[in-house]
Structure 1
Amino acid sequence: MDKRAQILLKTLVEHYISDGQPIGSRTLLQHSGLDVSPATIRNVMSDLEQLGFIASPHTSAGRVPTQKGYRLFVDSLLTVKPIDARAISQLKSGLSSPDPQALINNAADMLSQLTQFAGVILTPKRSRNLLKHLEFLLLSEKKILVILVTDDGQVQNRILMTEKAFSASELTAASNYVNTHCSGLTLDEVQLKLRQELQQMQADINHLMSAALDAASQPEQTNKEAVVISGERNLLEVDELSANVGSLRKLFEIFERRTALMQLLDQSQRADGVQIFIGGESGYLPLDECSMVTAPYDVDGQVVGTLGVIGPTRMAYERIIPIVDVTAKLLSNALSNQ
């Protein structure tokens, strides 16, 4: 894509984000600052449409950005605006509680208030707890109970459904291996150690232990506090979201169950810096008209969770991205100073 096409796409996306109306060639020419003819604008728009970056909604003569157009805009054309001092002051005042859970709740509220969308936070995992004991118990042919005890006395019970039927002796051997070689390590260290030894262990047994530790490291699906959500009702005020009642209902079901959100936020936790998921490309959000901006946060340099904002694809990314980024940094500082 040449420089002229980039300028026109950037102008079109910014203008559409601003007023939500399809952009015609005349309007695009007025706002692009390019000294070209209307015919040239139409030709470039036709090329962009053929490439899949813009589309014509219904019979409108104007164009709107597609998911692919938003992705190129965010990755290559976006000019991020610095967060204003008033917003930073608001964040700092909201993140001054001595209670870690209050800090997380306040951070979700601040994200919602500053963006007018939904703020979401994956709460810290207890990844620093050390493994004390692990045991597999056979419940039925392909159903196994995993009992995991950590050094602080916590006991987690999870049920695994396996494709292969395991014998009681195989489960005992798996339990003995973990307890002998991994006791005293954090759960993250146990996962890493086992996965590094994949080639040295019987494949089926290793798969079983990896699945057990994956399950143990995930928050309980019934524990709604594993994901804190604030301001989801703000999405009802977004025209392109509220018009799609069926899909909006699916989104609120995700808010209610939180399972898919935990998976998406957990995926973001392993990334470096701000992540942007546009439309359905994440595989977890049900709306093509919905995007999510996330960033990991840490305690004393160790990443422990993720926070983010869910809103329409037609969001002001240049403003939302620094809000999410700064909130993650301030929350990290506040939690590290506890």
Structure 2
Amino acid sequence: MTTLDKRAQILLKTLVEHYISDGQPVGSRTLSKCSGLDLSPATVRNVMSDLEEMGFIASPHTSAGRVPTHRGYRFFVDTLLTIKPLQTQEIQRLESELSSPDPQELISSAAGLLSSLTQFAGVVMIPRRKSIAFKHLEFLPLSDTRLLVIIVTSDGNVQNRIIVTDKAYSAAELTQASNFFNANYSGSTFEDVQKKLHEELKQMQSDMNRLMAAALDASSKALDEDRDNVVISGERNLLQVDELSTNVTSLRKLFEIFERRTSLMQLLDNSQRAEGIQIFIGGESGYLPLDECSMVTAPYEANGQIVGTLGVIGPTRMAYERVIPIVDITAKLLSSGLSMK
């Protein structure tokens, strides 16, 4: 990692904080006045030139001032950032609004609070439903190669899925498949069925194997699609951010991610495996399409087990010292609320 002397660090910190505050390129005269260092503008310009050469800052064509690069933001966040504690009334608001006995309401409230307190987009990955057992499965023919699969889970959830097969099955074969599935696997979780199915179906005809595999795949997808996996609140706040709203093409791509949510789920899922606050600046995540976007995430728990991730998506020019504690405390309070359920 590149090291900077104390003088360069103070000037970089001052520049990033000023740019985050007002969004305007920062000149050497401003830094000379605001850094607290007894340096002439000429000396400041020399240090700025070195920082630019090292890739921490850049000069916009239309201004004599400098702005932070992604590398500059990363060094600032990792090394120079001073976290600002939340005000008492903000903490009290979080505590009061994250006190519902309903887990789904808690998660929705968390997303809304993240958005409201930061004025950016708040996102919460809903805990995945694990160990769902199915009670009953039935095949009904729709046409020669199209079948309706009816899945009833142990919690009373009923799903209908259409699957397309590569051959026609007789009514007797469909009854046989349903009976086999229900007799052998009723009460088992889909994870357990997947483990057992591979070995036990070797004794059946190969085309019946394919029918079983298709039914299991359809069942898993039905349960996954039965609910939104991510709650998003306040994405339209990003339309008010100048550096995002002027990039119409990239902004459209970002909203497509909000709509499809697949890439967002992958990013949150990866964040869930890490401990504590994670900060993705610009393209570091590999998922967000805007170089001008950053994401701050934290995992949350239920009864000691990490079950999801929440976070804030906003511009790289965000007040990290404020957003980080908001994300951190929201994750802790959500964990506490879910652990009492």
TM-score, length-scaled by structure 1:
0.76
Match of 1:84 among 84, 87, 96: 87
Partner AA of 1:240 in structure 2: E
SS of residue paired to 1:225: coil
Deviation at 1:3, TM superposition (A): 0.9
Any conservation in 2 of the 1:131–1:185 contact (CA below 8 Å)?
yes
Q: Shift of the alpha carbon at 1:59?
A: 3.4
| Alignment-derived partner of residue 55 in structure 1 | 58
1:187–1:217 Cα contact (<8 Å) kept: no
Q: Which runs of 5+ in 2 are unaligned?
A: 136-150, 163-183, 196-212
Contact residue 298 and residue 304 of structure 1 kept, 8 A: yes
Q: How has the CA–CA distance of structure 1 residues 313 and 187 changed in structure 2, closer, same or farther, with 3 Å as cutoff?
A: farther
Of 94, 111, 115, which residue of structure 2 is paired with 1:112? Answer: 115
Contact 1:290 1:311 in 2 (8 A): yes
Structure 1 residues 309-324: aligned runs within 5 Å:
309-324=312-327
1:278 aligns with 2:272: no
Counterpart among 1, 5, 30 of residue 33 in structure 2: 30
Q: Describe how 1:179-328 pairs up with structure 2 within 5 A.
A: 220=224, 222=225, 225-328=228-331
Distance 1:19 1:123, change over 3 A: same
Q: Distance in 1 between matches of 2:292 and 2:222?
A: 28
Number of the residue aligned with 1:69: 72
- The answer to whether the 8 A contact 1:307-1:328 is kept is yes
Look up the match of 1:97.
100
Change (3 A) 1:184 1:270: farther
Aligned residues: 290
Q: Is the CA contact 1:241–1:312 (under 8 Å) kept in the aligned structure 2?
A: yes
Aligned residue among 17, 20, 27 for 2:20: 17
The answer for the alignment partner of 1:141 in structure 2 is none
Identity %: 71
Distance in 2, matches of 1:267 and 1:304, equals 12
Whether the 8 Å contact between 1:108 and 1:230 is mirrored in structure 2 is: yes
Q: Distance in 1 between matches of 2:42 and 2:104?
A: 58
Question: Hey, what's the Cα distance between the residues in 2 that align with 1:218 and 1:40?
Answer: 65
The residue type equivalent to 2:86 in the other structure is: I
The letter of the residue matching 1:247 is S
Distance 1:29 1:111 in 2: 36
CA distance in 1, matches of 2:102, 2:262: 25
Matched residues in 2 for 1:93 and 1:333: separation?
A: 13
Q: SS in structure 1 opposite 2:112?
A: helix
On the 8 A contact 2:161/2:222 being kept in 1, the answer is: no
Change (3 A) 1:115 1:40: same
Report whether the alignment pairs 1:5 with 2:8: yes
Moved more, 324-333 or 28-37: 28-37
Q: CA deviation at 1:274?
A: 0.7
The CA deviation at 1:312 is 0.6
CA contact (8 A) 2:190 2:220 kept: no
Deviation at 1:30, TM superposition (A): 0.8
Moved more, 231-240 or 31-40: 31-40
Structure 1 residue 156, shift from structure 2 partner: 9.3
CA distance 1:67–1:186, change in 2 (3 Å) = farther
Q: Distance in 2 between matches of 1:218 and 1:29?
A: 61
> Does the aligned pair in 1 maintain the 2:159–2:222 contact within 8 Å?
no
Return the alpha-carbon distance in structure 1 between the equivalents of residues 30 and 223 of structure 2.
50
CA shift digits 1:14-62 (9 cap, x unpaired): 0100000000111011111111222221111111111111001113110
Displacement of 1:244 after TM fit?
0.8
Q: CA separation of 1:55/1:329 partners in 2, compared to 1, >3 Å: closer, same or farther? A: same
